[in-house]
Every structure is written in C-alpha cells, then in structure tokens.
Structure 1
Amino acid sequence: MLTLSQVNKRYPTGDRALTDIELTLPRGQVMALIGPSGAGKSTLIRCVNRLVEPTSGSIRLEETELTRLSGNALRRARRAMAMIFQEYALVDRLTVMENVLSGRLGYVGFWRSFLRRYPADDIAEAFRLLERVGLPHAMDKRADALSGGQRQRVGIARALIQRPRLLLVDEPTASLDPKTSRQIMRLIRELCAERKLAAIINIHDVALAQQFADRIVGLRAGEIVFDGKPGELDADTLTTIYGEEEWDTRVQEEEAPSAAASAAPAPATPLTLATGGAR
C-alpha cells in the first residue's frame, strides 16, 4: 500500500534527518516507529504527507507517487492520509462537532465550511464517530473545555471523517497519563481493524508499541536499525536503538486489558527500563 524507497532528508544546515529509508506498509498493518528523540520518527511521518519535503527518494501510496505531486493533486492525495497530532491541533474556540467536521475541509471547500454548511451525510458520520470514540455527550462543548484524552479522541474522530486509507499518528500518548495512553492506543488499534486502515504510529513508549502494533521499526540517527515483530524486540535490540541501558522484562499494568486489547498482538513480557519508565 505504502512504499518508501531510498528516502533521504537533509536540512540546509547539512544535518541529515533520514538516510536511505526503505519501508513497505501493507494494507491494514499497524506499524510503530520507536527510537530516541531526534532519531527522525516525526520527520519520516511528515515526509509521507509532504508536510516535510524529502530531499530525495520515492514515496508511493498505492499507485500514486507522492513526491511528484503539487497543488490540487497533492491536496487530493492528502485526503487519503489522515494525521493525528501529539498536541491535538484542535481549534479551541470551536465545538467538538465543529472540530470533527473540519476533517471534511478537503472535500467541501472553504466557504461551505466557513458557513458551517456541511452535507447531511458528513454530519451523520460525525455523530457516528463521536459515538464510536466515546464522546457523544460532548459534541457541543468547546475544545478548550476537554481533557487531554478527550481532545485526542476528537482528533481521532476528525482524522477518520476524512475516510482515509492511511493513518499517520505522531506521539498520540505523549501528553497523557498511563491509563489514558492505553485507552487511546487501544482505540486506534480497534479502529484500524474495523476500517482496514494501515497506520504508522510514532511513539516513545516501547511497552505500548509492543502491545498494540503488528510491527515495530526502530530508528537511530535517521536510519532503520530494527524492523520486526513486537516479540523480537529484546534487550540487545533496544540497546542498538537507544544505546546502553539496564533493560528488564517487568510488566506494568495500569488496568486490566479488554477483550479487544487481548486480541491485539503483544509479547508475553514487554520490555521496560529497569527504572520502571518506558522509553
């Protein structure tokens, strides 16, 4: 579905953010990107939807070569690639419903959205999505009245109303407590399965990546140093990705996993730092 070939990103300063990235993401697969800060995880995601321009290489979404697009063609291609942001990227003065419907901007145009004249089908879908993410009661609340977990759920609903084929998720749990982080990752996982969506999730929490992803890709200094199943991520591999650390296999559970979470692929003993904090 998504293929990156020899993708490089070098900044004008000469700093290289990505080096010869080779990745293929099949339809329906949830891939987690892990690695230390500055490894290139966010840059990789943003190169896919061209929020960051790759210096060289090929990025193909199905039959479309994304690196060759511009203007209206690029805007149309971006409809198929919905992004969920770390800091939610909501408009605080708008209601939850209005923020969700803003995900249809690429389809309805500026003036219809400005006048809040969305098609009835879009409004019905927004109601369904708010029900699915657990926020039907909050549709008339302003975004700035929501908790962090609620704001992220609005961001998920806004992404899904685009009817994308690919989700690009940038540190969705960075600002959330452990319990809410698990709930958000479980929700993303379930929605990808329900809608047969592929997803690339940039995440710092190794244990969450192991529990909820089909595949883990480790980046270090802009290069892929690991690409495999969650169960293959051992202490030696984590040392390769992050550097020397005392890794152990203690599991920290903040809540009992639901049936949906237990159905997600997860190793028996997720790796954490010996101090108890996940990287």
Structure 2
Amino acid sequence: MLRLEKLTKTYPTGDMALQAVDLEIPAGQIVALIGPSGAGKSTLIRCINRLVEPSSGAAWLDDVNLTRLSQAALRRQRRRMGMIFQEYALVERLTVMENVLSGRLGYVGFWRSFTRRFPQKDVDEAYRLLDRVGLLDMADKRADELSGGQRQRVGICRALIQDPALLLVDEPTASLDPKTSRQIMRLIVELCAERGLAAIINIHDVALAQMFVNRVIGLQKGRVVFDGPPDALTAEVLTQIYGEEDWEATIRKPEDEDEAEAAPLPAGAGGA
C-alpha cells in the first residue's frame, strides 16, 4: 500500500506545488491523476520516489517511510518503484535490450553494471517482457530507431524488470497519437493487473483516464479536490478541477462503450 500523509512541497520561490496531500492507494489499484498544468501532478509522483524532495509530510510504501530514508536506503527502495517517463528517458545509442536491462542496475554490482554483464535470469526476463509488449524482434535495435509508441513500450519493460510494487507513470501518452495512446494505456493496465501492481498515472486526457481506470484523483493548485470513480466526473466536477469550460464533449458517454469493449479493463485492475 502507498500512503501519503500531509505531503507538501514548497519551492524556494514560495510557490506551493503540493498542499498537505493525504492519499491511500492499496496494492493492485490503478489510479489516474488529473488536473491542469501546474496543479502538482508531476511533483506528487516525484515526491514519492524523492526525485523531488518534499518539504514536509510523509510518503509510506507498505511499512517504509520513504521521506525519512538515507540516500543508500532510498536507492534500495527505488527498486520497488518503477518509473515510466513522458519523454521515455532512454539512452538513444544503446539497444532496446540494453535499455531494458538498465532497470536492473540497482540490483547488480558496480563492475557488472559498468560492463553491462547481467545475470542470465535478468536477460531471460528482459526477452520475456519484450515479447509480452510485442518488441522481441527489436531487441538489438538502437533506441533512436524506434517510434514513440515503441520507445514507451521499452520504458514500460525497463520499469517492470525492476520487479516493483508500485508504478509511477508520468504522462505516458503525451507525445503519442490517439490510437497509440489507447494501446499504451491498455498495456499498462493489463500488465499491472497481471502482476498485482499499484500504479499512479499522471494523465491530461480525461476521456482516456475514464476509459481505463476505476479511480480518478483530481488536483487543483496542489490540493486533492476530487477522488472517486470516473462516472462521477461531471461537468461541475471538471469545472472545479480545471475551471469554466463546456465539458460535455469531454465526459465519456455510454454510447462510447465500443472502445471499452475492444479493450476491457482486466479483472481486478483499478478496483478500490
């Protein structure tokens, strides 16, 4: 379980990116985090794994207070938190296989990591993951030869090979076309369901969030202003999160179920 207690981030300018955020996300639950730019979505994700240091409050992963850890202990705990980035964060000159295996760097010794000599079980798992996401035949291609959707799949594999308990996903579809965006969201949800992973997905596309998760958290100016199921995202709620606008075209309608039938949420994924 992930638990946030009064998590706050204040920047040196005095701007408060997060204001006393309280959240609980049980094992296996997939949550979409929505809100306008500057609402604190990326900051929240990065405060959990301390890529951004919170100013106060606590983030607990099971019984471990992540905000109190030394750097050495934090490195060990980061193995349990897979991160999927908006801009992929791949090493362009390395192969797909090398990029996936970089997710094991926290587990191998210095010389093995320096020479990229990984245990055979790690190599076997990397091949299995690449096969699962449909990239097995691209294992030896350089990352800079891939499309955006393919790069994001490599990023997903790199996060999963850590064998994490939690996925932190920052705008996984922001640079992708609508079809590829749905494929990537479907893949993340399916893989989380297969592994019993909890996930927080920072996403701008409200309709996409409604399509694939069962719990949505809305942030506004660093505060949680909505926490509930997708069908509770009424025009009034979206106005509270984003501001005044005609939201009728954004809210997913019952007649839009054709896509949901083509990509059903796996049993147990995202459930409260």
Normalising by structure 1, report the TM-score: 0.91
- Aligned residue for 2:106, secondary structure, equals helix
Q: Is the 8 A contact 2:86 2:170 kept in 1?
A: yes
- Residues 264 and 246 from structure 1, CA distance in 2 versus in 1: closer, same or farther, beyond 3 angstroms? farther
In structure 2, the residue matched to 1:84 is 84
Structure 1 residue 257: Cα displacement: 4.8
Q: Distance in 2 between matches of 1:203 and 1:216?
A: 10
Q: Residue by residue, what CA displacement relative to the aligned partner does 1:176-206 show, whole Å, maximum 9, x if unpaired?
A: 0000000000000000000000000000000
Does 2:23 match 1:20?
Answer: no
Structure 1 residue 166: Cα displacement: 0.1
Q: Is the 8 A contact 1:213 1:265 kept in 2?
A: no
Q: Is the 8 A contact 1:212 1:264 kept in 2?
A: no
- Residues 80 and 250 from structure 1, CA distance in 2 versus in 1: closer, same or farther, beyond 3 angstroms? closer
- Aligned residue for 2:169, secondary structure, equals strand
In structure 2, the residue matched to 1:128 is 128
* Code of the aligned partner of 1:261: P
CA RMSD of aligned residues (A): 1.9
In structure 2, the residue matched to 1:172 is 172
Structure 1 residue 140: Cα displacement: 0.4
Q: Distance in 2 between matches of 1:262 and 1:168?
A: 19
Q: Distance in 1 between matches of 2:122 and 2:265?
A: 33
Aligned pairs (5 A) from 1:87-126: 87-126=87-126
- Residues 55 and 173 from structure 1, CA distance in 2 versus in 1: closer, same or farther, beyond 3 angstroms? same
Q: Is the 8 A contact 2:190 2:266 kept in 1?
A: no
Q: Residue by residue, what CA displacement relative to the aligned partner does 1:144-170 show, whole Å, maximum 9, x if unpaired?
A: 000000000000000000000000000
Q: Residue by residue, what CA displacement relative to the aligned partner does 1:5-64 show, whole Å, maximum 9, x if unpaired?
A: 111100011111000100000000000100000000000000000000000001100010
Higher RCO (C-alpha under 8 Å, 6+ residues apart): 2
- Residues 102 and 46 from structure 1, CA distance in 2 versus in 1: closer, same or farther, beyond 3 angstroms? same
- Residues 22 and 74 from structure 1, CA distance in 2 versus in 1: closer, same or farther, beyond 3 angstroms? same
Q: Distance in 2 between matches of 1:214 and 1:34?
A: 13
How many residues are matched?
A: 266
Aligned pairs (5 A) from 1:88-237: 88-237=88-237
- Aligned residue for 1:75, secondary structure, equals helix
Normalising by structure 2, report the TM-score: 0.94
Q: Distance in 1 between matches of 2:226 and 2:77?
A: 29
In structure 1, the residue matched to 2:56 is 56
Q: Is the 8 A contact 2:5 2:23 kept in 1?
A: yes
- 4+ long deviations beyond 3 Å: 249-253, 255-260, 262-266
* Structure 2 spans left out of the alignment, 5+ residues: none
Deviates more, 1:43-52 or 1:63-72: 63-72
In structure 1, the residue matched to 2:264 is 261
Q: Residue by residue, what CA displacement relative to the aligned partner does 1:196-233 show, whole Å, maximum 9, x if unpaired?
A: 00000000000111111121000001111000011111
- Aligned residue for 2:225, secondary structure, equals strand
Structure 1 residue 258: Cα displacement: 5.7
* Code of the aligned partner of 2:116: R
Q: Distance in 1 between matches of 2:245 and 2:161?
A: 42
Q: Distance in 2 between matches of 1:4 and 1:164?
A: 18
* Code of the aligned partner of 2:211: Q
Structure 1 residue 106: Cα displacement: 0.2
- Residues 256 and 212 from structure 1, CA distance in 2 versus in 1: closer, same or farther, beyond 3 angstroms? closer
Q: Distance in 1 between matches of 2:126 and 2:53?
A: 32
In structure 1, the residue matched to 2:65 is 65
